[in-house]
Amino acid sequence: MKIKLFAATAVLVLGLAACGGEPPAPAPAPAAPVAEAPPPEPAPVATASVGETPADPVAFMKTRHDNYKDLGKNFKLMSDNNKLPAPDMAAVTAAAAKVKEYAGQMGTWFPPGTGPEAGETKAKAIVWTERADFDAKLADLQTEVDKLVTAAGTDAAAFKAQFGPTGGKCKACHDKFREEEKK
């Protein structure tokens, strides 16, 4: 019995030590708060094609970041409504349309020369080296977003059923192509 207890102790201590031993993520420098009193619509990046490096990559990347942030806000609006028994379907429909607009442009957001080598971004370099898979995942997203727009125009139940699968396509790409650490 004593040995069992000692073994249990050892296992628990080792288990906990293993958890505790994980190096904590480096605390990031506090991000400069983006003061945007009425959130301005970020100018969509629509011009640069997959092939050309933009004239000002840093500005281009900043716009890309702002677009993703606005996309996140539209998603949060849908997520908040997803938790309500009676979602505000007008707001949900508008947000879904906005997401569709962004998803449609996203293929032009990652031209050469706008990766981690060019400046601050969470986009991994494999976005450019494994472009075919990136595009395939983007196509998946666009398929689900089309369904989401249709569902939002149908009713609350259809929207709620389609919200999770759409988010899953966002996650599928983030898991592979986005850095976890805040940069």
- Closer residue to another protein in complex, CB, 39/52: 39
The CA–CA distances, whole Å, from 58 to 54, 90, 93, 108, 126 equal 9, 36, 33, 15, 19
Residue from 46, 52, 59, 72 in contact with another protein (CB under 8 A): 72
Residue from 48, 61, 77, 96 in contact with another protein (CB under 8 A): 77
| Residue among 65, 85, 94 at smallest CA distance from 178 | 65
Q: Residue 96 interacts with another protein (CB under 8 A)?
A: no
Residue from 74, 114, 121, 162 in contact with another protein (CB under 8 A): 74
Contact 129, 147 (CB under 8 A): no
Residue 74's identity, in one-letter code, is: N
Q: Residue 83 interacts with another protein (CB under 8 A)?
A: yes
Contacts of 34 (CB under 8 A, 6+ apart): 69
| Residue among 137, 136, 166 at smallest CA distance from 151 | 166
Length in residues, the chain: 183
Work out how close the CB of 141 gets to another protein at its nearest, in angstroms, rounded to a whole number.
Answer: 12
- Closer residue to another protein in complex, CB, 48/78: 78
Binding residues vs another protein (CB under 8 A): 1-2, 5-6, 8-9, 12-13, 15-17, 19-20, 22, 24-25, 27-28, 33-34, 68-69, 71-80, 83-85, 167, 170-171, 174-175, 180, 182
